[in-house]
Structures are given as structure tokens and as C-alpha cells.
Structure 1
């Protein structure tokens, strides 16, 4: 009996001990986890660097692109050689541009009371100017292909906008809309066109039906927004008289608003191609996009489940053939009728059938 009694008491005591230990451990983790979490410390150190006062090396970089703040001085960006000390004992280079001869501090005096967000924006801007200049230098060494020439023209235009921004509005994001206009570029975008196509063509009597057509539209739009357009040299031949602008012009717009913001960090927005382009771009790109999409589907079908294979290998060709027929029909209803479906209701439909 003594042994039985002990066997009942010991587990209870052990449970209390474990409870106390787990409670103390949980309190320890709640208080000390920040000092032991490597990921948190790494992110915090990077964030703190952004919020630190502007360093001397950053001051010199920013001053190269900042006009002198003294009255009657026409210097639009400092060139500094040699090092001198100012009245506070700090190193202060002198600008050697003709007509300036003012210290570095006169080029950055407008940055004394800026906010952290404005200072971060200025750092991005100066970094992009330096990076864009290097990119232009590398492009000038490459063969003079059509794509490289278009890229060079785009980067030159962006470089001019960035430089003007440092002179006029150094603490705000640059406005690149002055180059190729402001998106969206067509009233009915590709996203809406595909929805019009589903609502106009498909119903319960079709092979696909509206439900499957909506699922495929969601898949096609997702791939289109991540697809790199065909370069002008490889673009399929088409009658240019049917379009108001050339493919090269739309290709430049695509690079400017959908691709370039990845490497130019001071550009505030990166757009989805299906949201800013419409009828002409869809007619330009559909045939090449259709071919590459089908190739991509066949290459990746090994990793898909049976349900996905059924859609992409059986239903997708039917969907794309019908879409191509409607896109190249200028009198199709998909261009003239925008089905009055709110974004919320549309998302509800897509989520219901996905």
C-alpha cells in the first residue's frame, strides 16, 4: 500500500514541478526573446541604420547632387576636393566648381531638420542616380540591338527625371509620368476585357461554363502579369496601321512601369500590366503570350495535380482559342460592353469558384 500511495503522490508533485518550470520558462522567453532572436536583431540593426543621422560619406554623396543653398550661388551640384575643418572641428570639403568655392555644409544645410522618411527618400534617390549612371555606362558597351537602344533611351529619360528631382524636390519621390504619360493608359484594361469575355461567351451550356472560365481567367491574368514581353526584334509581324502606337512605344511603357521599379527604388509604384494596358497591347501580345503559356504549361505539368492538369492541358487551349477569336474581332462585345460588376462582387465570384 505504501508503494501504491507513493506512486499516486509522485506524479502529482512532478506535475507541479513541470508546471512551475514551464511557467518560469515562458516568463523568461517573454522577457528575453528579443536578445536571443537572430532574425529580429538583424532586422532591427538594418532599420536603425536607416534612422541614424546622415553620415559623412552619405553627406558627400548627397552634396554632389544638391545645389548650393547660399543666395546668388548658381552651383547645381558640388564637386569636392581636399578636406578642411569647419568652426565645429568637423571635416568639411570645399566645392571647386567655378563660382562656388563654398563648403560641403552649404550644399546640405536644407537637410538639418528633415524627417526620417524624407531622409530615406533622399538616400534612395541618390543611390538610383549613381546606379542609373552605371547602367547607362554598361549599356553603351553592349551591342546596339533594338532592345538595348530602347533600354538606353528609357534609362536616359529616368536619369534626367531623377536629376531634376534632386534639384526641385529632393525629399519626395520622382514623377516619371512626364516621360510616357500617367497609367492606366486605356479605359478598359485587360483585366476587365477578360471578365467581359467570360460574361459574354460562357454559360452553363458551353463546354467550359462560366465557373471554369473565371478560374482560367484568374490563372491567365496571373501569368500575364509575371510574363516578360517579347522583345521588339522577336515580335510577330502585324499590320501597324491597325494600331495607334507602335509596339516599341508600348514595350517602353511596360519596362518603365512594370519592370524598371524593381531596380529603381525611388520610383514609388510598380504596376500590373493587366491593370494599365488594354485592347492594343492585348492584340499585340496575345499570340506570343499564348504560345509561351502553352509551352510553360506542358513543361510544368509534372508537378501539378490531376485537377490542375485537367484545366491547363484540356480546358486552357479551348479558352485561349476562343479568346484569340474575340480579341481580333474589332466588333466583339468584349470591347464595347463593360459588365457592371463591382470589384467586391467580382472577387466573391472568383473566390467562390477557385
Structure 2
């Protein structure tokens, strides 16, 4: 191969390009000194300084990423040294290409002639013009800038003139010539990489790309990587799409303020991965199986060709690792990447901005643990091609562009469960007054049920109340008070420890199809020891057999890398239930809420799997614990589903728990606490609005010991209602409930006083009706809902009927006939409900 005379670029050295231990470099960089002789090729601009190599560097044997590229930076923040180095390196490459493209036309022809075959005659095999005036030991200055060869200068190799080598460039445009000169610079850079590279696999890829680009100059074509590697994307869904699905899957239930940090962590993870340097196949060979190594070698070659080398050879098409690779590559690099990232952040924690330190050191480890579970889970939905979330496209766009993926939901509504705030309805969004609220065709009965729980409280009032409530879980300053409070939830301390990364939860199990890694085996042994110590009456051999049985899995509670508790279970997906076999927390870690938080995590895990029933045989010491976790002796699942499947224990009590898929169990106590605070604030505001003062009760002075609550003057004006009407038993059979409600509806519609309520109020008859009444209701609408099986409980039916009477009394004066009809029909309705046994008499 022939190369042009050297120029002013400094000589070349190679530096380590990995995060942990030193290894041969994958990228070349200029040496600090310029006094040594130059190599026989233009140098590759500096790609890495020793010990601080930037992400544009190629693979290192241990893998790694530049620290300055990890944490997202805010506008105006200082740029880290490594990030500056990377920017300088790319700038040097651009400057070198600009310098070459700025040559005079004759100089450009000379430069391209070096890589152009001789065309004097067909017998000449010279593949590049060689300058006859090149000195044997040239100085480091670019003498070619001053001694430009002419087209009549002969080639030192074939004696044909330069014009014979560049005759094909006579009619080429300046733009095309500049493109070819850019490839020339990339070829020279790759040549240095080939000569300095020590790893055989990487050297082979560099050499292939070197020949490819040289061929492109010769043929004046665009570089295309061909062969068995395929073309991007190599797997669907991509890593970026999978992470976007993960964020949506795990955190979509959170309010915007709490969800935004998860997007920031996801963006940071993807950014790290895009600049991650893969370890070489030879380095990985020591610990990988043959099949896995073969697949990894293919992905490593793809990564070099499409992601790594194109970062400093821009004549090659460049892709982000997270956009063209999928789950397979992520699985192969995740363990090493996770450990090295966390170690690097710990070492550099003092360099992190204060506002990011908590996010990275506290929340990022937990984020990675949750992601790891989905990466290696065989049933994780985030890798499904048809995964659908409420805003997956928006989530992915937020990860790509850095734009916050926050919906139009009021930020003050954070922490509420779906039952407290329902979506805005048509009438509330400024729709036409008098237009009836219809059930969305795509909405299930359960969705409709959730929508109706809102009540008549104005949204503005709810938002105002929410602004006065502080969520202890969302503000670090309130942690101390929430944990010391006498009313703190049982799992509050455990939840806070999980957020700080003190404890972790992992679903683990043995496998016969693939060899479990060492960490999982150590956790399984730890679980066996915990169960054996805490369940002394259970044979140790029996515990060992079930813990290591591939059909059983265990949710492990890990603290400081050591297992301190767990729940062993077996899932019967076809039967719709899971049997809980063992449940224990080591004795010195009890009474900290770990047991409750452990069970809540297990519930959420099963909701994702679509299994909504737990069964277990509890001994006399465990019954109390299971009752606190929502278990009861009233088994909801048919006996035929579990007989013959569940293990029967002598002297134990069978208990069951039915899961509600709409409840985020790990945050359930926080939500309930916030809802109680909201109700309390609303009651206080309601009381403040009541200005009438009644005289004190005197009956107790006269010897009366007890009076009914409803006899207290003014009690009904506060909104209090007797609860006795709701104490009737709910029919278990939905068909029975439907028939009962249908009969009552027919009787109500046939009552003489029902005539004002048969149809929706017409706006022409009462123009201001829909300005006063926010939630209209009528018997026709109720009949349609009943026909569509909307009323799955008697409470929904009674709430709509009561709304008819309440709306009438609110809009009409007491002396009107409408008001009297409402009172009459209300009494008739509740009498029929009592006769049907739906409320107590």
C-alpha cells in the first residue's frame, strides 16, 4: 500500500480504552510530543488521553463508558474534562477533513491519486501513485503544502504519470471530490488503528472497514457494509423502545412530578449505553458459553461497524446502539455495565451536581434493579412487539428528545388512586349544555365504575385542597416525621429504605434449561437458610427441594447484598391462582415492615402476570400476618380450581386473597393516607361554610342517656346521612342483582310521581339548568345503563337514583310540585329497596 508524505499532525500512540483494568487500546491518539518521526500515514486525531478516554473510542476489553457522558447536564452547567476531550477529538477530525478539502485542486488530485489505480494501460497493476520526491526521513512539517506534485510527475512504482492515476477524476464535481477526500482521511485513520490493534477480532473488523473504504475511493462509491451481519435494526423492539415500554409499564401510574425522574434516569441509562464500549469476544470467552459467545461476536462486529467506528469515521453510516440492538445484546452486557456504572458513580459522587446526586446515587440503583428483572424475565411484556401503554409513543419521544413526557393532568393530583379523581367528562370540558354523558364504547364496566366514584365535589376545590397537602413520600424533608408518626403505615420504613437503595426485591428461581448465575445460586442458598431458621418445624430437606425446584420461584428480599427474607411460591397460571409455600423474614430484621412490603411486591408481580388469587395454608402463628395482608378464610376461587394442585398441610388453615389489578399495592398505604387527608380537609371546608349556630343539647341534663344522631339539630345540613340503608347484603350473583334492579326500576317508573324525571331536562324548558346542575341524571339514562349492565353493584344504582332527587331539590324551590315529587319518589324507591333486601329495614 502507498501512503502520502507525512504532514504536521503529531505522531501516534495508543491509550487504554476501558473502564476497569488496562488493556490494549481500540483507538489511536496523538502523542503529547511532536518531536518523534511521523508514521508513513496521516495521523488519526486524538481520540483519548491516557486514563480519560472519551466515548468515541472503540471497545476495551473490560467494557466501560466515559463518566462525563453519563449524567444529564442542565444548560449552563460546566462541561466535564472527558466530554471536552471528546468534543476536541471530534473537532480535530473535522479540522483535518476541512484542511484536506481546502487544498488546491492539484493538491486534491495528488491526494486522491495515492488511492487511485493506474489507468495508463491494462497491464499496469499499480494501485496508487507514489511521490518520487518523498524523502526517506521527512520532517514533521507538511512539506507537501509547499511542494505540490504536478500531473506530469511519474509514479515511483510504475513510472506512469500522476495524470494516468487521476484521469477518472477530470469531470468529477468539487462536492464529490470533497466526499472522497473525507473517506481518504478515514482510511488513514483506520490504517493506524489496524497497525496498533492487538486484539485479533477487532483488528479483523478494522481491516475489513479499511479495505471497504479504500475500495469506495477506487470505485467512487458510497460505503455499504455487506455480508452476513445484516442491516440495522438487528432486533425488534430496540433497547430504546424496550426502556420506553419499561418506564410506561412500571411508572405510568405515578403523577407527573414523580414520573419525570424516571424519564431522566431512563435517558441517562440510554446515553450511557450509547457510549458504552463492549468487551472483546476474546476477553469474554473465558466466562461465556460457546453458543452465547458466537451470538455475542456477531453483535460485537455489528457494533464496531455501525456504532463505534462511524463515530470517528463519518463516511460510514452511524447508528445509536440503543436504536439498532435489542434485548439480546442488553442481556449480554447488562450485569457488567450495571456494576461498573454504580462503582463509577460512587467514586465520582463528589463531582456530581448536587441536584443530581440524590437521583443518581439513590434512585438509579433501584431503577437498574427493576430494569434487570424485566430484561431477564422470560414473560416480561415490555419486549412484546404489540406492547401497548397509555402513552408509549410519548414516552419514547421523551427519551429521544429529552422533552418531558408530562400529560395535561393537574400536577396537584399526585398520589391519588384512580378512584379519587376520574377523567374529565364532556360536560366538564365545555361541551354543549344538556348533552348527556354517554358511556365510551371502548370503556369497560369497571372503567365506568371508576369514573362514577368522583362525586359532586368541584374539581377546582379538589385541586385547592391537594395543594395544601404534602406527600411525605415525595419530599425528603418529611421523612423523619412520617416514620416517627404514630399513624405511619406498617410498610413506610421499608418503602423509604427501598427508595434509598438499602433493600432490593428480586424474583429468583432455579433452572434446568440454563445455568443460573452465581449470584442467583447464592440468593437461593440464603433463602433456604432463612426459611430453615424461621420455620424450624419444617424439614430442611423439604425446604431445599422446593426452593430449588424449577417450578417454584421466590421473591427475595436483599439487604446489603444478603438475603434477609423471601416468599416462595408456585404459580398455577392455567388455574388462575398461586400457592404461597414459605414466607419468612430473618428474626433480627422483623418488625420493620419488611413482611408487608414483601407481600405487596408479590401482589404487584402477580398482577403483571395476570394471576389474581393467592392461596396458602397458614399455621397458627402465621394467620395474624396473613390477615393483615388481606387474606381471609373465605376463599373466592372455586374449589375445583385448586383441589389436587395445592399442597395440604395438617393442622394448617387454608386462606385466600383476591387481588385488585387497579391497586398499586406497594404505594397503597400512601394513597389511602392521602385520601384520608383529602376527605378531612374537605370536611373542614364544609364545616367552615356552615354559619348557622344551634343551641347546645339540653336533653342530657334531663337524664337522657342516648339520642339518635339524626335528631341532633343541623346534622343533616352538614351532609351527614344515615348509613343503615347500605347495610343490606350485596347479591353475589350478578344476574340476580340485575333482575332485582330491573324490577325496582320498572316500579319506580310506574310510580305517579316519577313523571318529571322520565327524560333529560330540556334546555328550552330550563335554560340555566345545566349551569346549576353539574351532574344531571334521569330515569331514561338509568334504564340504558341498566340494560348495558353498568350497575355491577347496588351502590352505583342507588347513587344515580339519589342524584335525581338531589338535583331536583337543588334546582327547584321547596314549594314547587317538582320538589314534592322528588320527596315522594325517594321514599317509594327506598321502600322498594328494603323490600328487595338490598338495604336494611
Distance 1:68 1:248, change over 3 A: same
The 3 A distance-change label for structure 1 pair 230 and 348 is: closer
> 1:302, CA displacement in angstroms?
1.7
Would you say the 8 A contact 1:76–1:167 is kept in 2?
no
The alpha-carbon deviation at position 179 of structure 1 amounts to: 6.8
* Compared CA separation, residues 193 and 180, structure 1 to 2 (3 A): same
1:239 Cα deviation (Å)? 4.8
* Contact in 1 for aligned 2:190/2:210 (Cα 8 Å): yes
Q: Does 1:256 align with 2:308?
A: no
Q: Measured at CA, do residues 330 and 132 of structure 1 come closer, stay the same or move farther in structure 2, by a change above 3 Å?
A: same
Specify which of 357, 360, 370 is matched with residue 322 of structure 1. 370
Deviations 1:276-307 (A, max 9, x none): 11010010011111111111222232233444
**Matching residue of 1:352:** 404
Q: Answer yes or no: is the 8 Å Cα contact 2:118–2:128 preserved in 1.
A: yes
Alignment of 1:259-298 (within 5 A): 259-267=308-316, 269-298=317-346
Q: What is residue 54 of structure 1 aligned with on the other side?
A: 105
Q: What do the CA deviations read for 1:160-193 (whole angstroms, capped 9, x no partner)? A: 212322232x2x4322344733212112110001
Give the Cα–Cα distance (whole angstroms) in 2 for the partners of residues 238 and 118 of structure 1: 46
Q: Does 1:133 align with 2:198?
A: no
Change (3 A) 1:297 1:93: same
* SS across alignment from 2:222: coil
Partner of 1:7: none
Matched, 1:227 2:266: no
Match of 1:63 among 99, 109, 113: 113
Higher relative helix content? 1
Q: Pick from 107, 127, 150: which aligns with 1:77?
A: 127
1:62 CA drift (Å): 2.2
The CA distance in 2 between the partners of 1:136 and 1:49, in whole Å, is 22
- Kept in 2, the 8 Å contact 1:78–1:96? The answer is no
Cα displacement string for residues 3-28 of structure 1 (whole angstroms, at most 9, x for unaligned residues): xxxxxxxxxxxxxxxxxxxxxxxxxx
- Partners of 1:135 and 1:323 lie apart in 2 by 36
Q: Which moved more, 1:248-257 or 1:192-201?
A: 248-257
Q: Does 1 or 2 have the higher relative contact order (CA < 8 Å, sep 6+)?
A: 1
Question: TM-score, normalized by length of structure 1?
Answer: 0.69
In 1: Cα distance, 2:395 partner to 2:361 partner? 29
TM-aligned CA deviation for residue 245 of structure 1? 4.5
Q: What CA RMSD, in Å, does the superposition of the two structures yield over aligned residues?
A: 3.6
- In structure 2, distance between residues paired with 1:122 and 1:108: 13
Secondary structure (helix, strand or coil) at the match of 2:403 reads helix
TM-score of the superposed pair, with normalisation by structure 2: 0.31
In structure 2, the partner of 1:22 is none
Higher gyration radius (CA): 2
Q: Is 1:107 equivalent to 2:165 in the alignment? A: yes
The secondary structure found in structure 2 opposite 1:106 is helix
Match of 1:93 among 129, 136, 153: 153
Displacement of 1:93 after TM fit? 2.6
**Alpha carbons of 1:66 and 1:280: their partners in 2 closer, same or farther (altered >3 Å)?**
same
1:47 & 1:321 partners in 2: Cα distance?
46
Instruction: Determine the C-alpha separation between the residues in 2 that align with 1:305 and 1:138.
Output: 38
Specify the alignment match of 1:153 in structure 2. Answer: 204
Closer, same or farther: CA 335–60 of 1 in aligned 2, 3 Å: same
Q: Which runs of 5+ in 2 are unaligned?
A: 1-93, 134-148, 407-841
Residues 173, 310 of structure 1: CA spacing in aligned structure 2 closer, same or farther, 3 A cutoff?
Answer: same
Change (3 A) 1:345 1:314: closer
* Count of aligned pairs: 292
Question: Distance in 2 between the 1:61 and 1:238 partners?
Answer: 46
Partner SS for 1:214? helix
Distance in 2 (CA, whole Å) between partners of 1:159 and 1:305 is 42
Taking structure 1 as reference, are residues 238 and 198 closer, same or farther at Cα in structure 2, changes over 3 Å only?
farther
2:239 counterpart of 1:190: yes
Q: 1:174 to 1:345 in 2, by over 3 A?
A: same
| Partner Cα separation in structure 2 for residue 239 and residue 200 of structure 1 | 32
Aligned partner of residue 153 in structure 2, secondary structure: strand
What is the alpha-carbon distance in structure 2 between the residues aligned to residue 280 and residue 352 of structure 1? 29
Measure, in 2, the Cα distance between the counterparts of 1:288 and 1:93.
57
Say whether the 8 Å CA contact 1:326–1:332 is kept in structure 2. yes
Q: Does 1:199 align with 2:257?
A: no
1:51/1:116 contact within 8 Å kept: no
CA separation of 1:321/1:47 partners in 2, compared to 1, >3 Å: closer, same or farther?
closer
Residue 11 of structure 1 aligns with which residue? none
Aligned to 2:670: none
